[in-house]
Amino acid sequence: MLNPYLDIHPDVQNALEEGRPVVALESTIISHGMPYPENVQTALRVEQAVRENGAYLPLLPF
Model confidence pLDDT, tens digit, residues 35-47:
999 988 998 999 9
Quote the pLDDT of residue 27: 80
Q: Is residue 47 part of a domain?
A: yes
Cβ atoms of residues 60 and 24 within 8 Å: yes
- Band the pLDDT of 2: cuts 50, 70, 90: low
Q: Is residue 37 part of a domain?
A: yes
Quote the pLDDT of residue 45: 93
Residue 20 structural domain:
10-52
Beta-carbon contacts of 32 under 8 Å, excluding residues fewer than 6 positions away, are none
Quote the pLDDT of residue 7: 84
Quote the pLDDT of residue 61: 61
Q: Is residue 2 part of a domain?
A: no
pLDDT tens figures, 5-27:
888 889 999 999 999 999 988 88
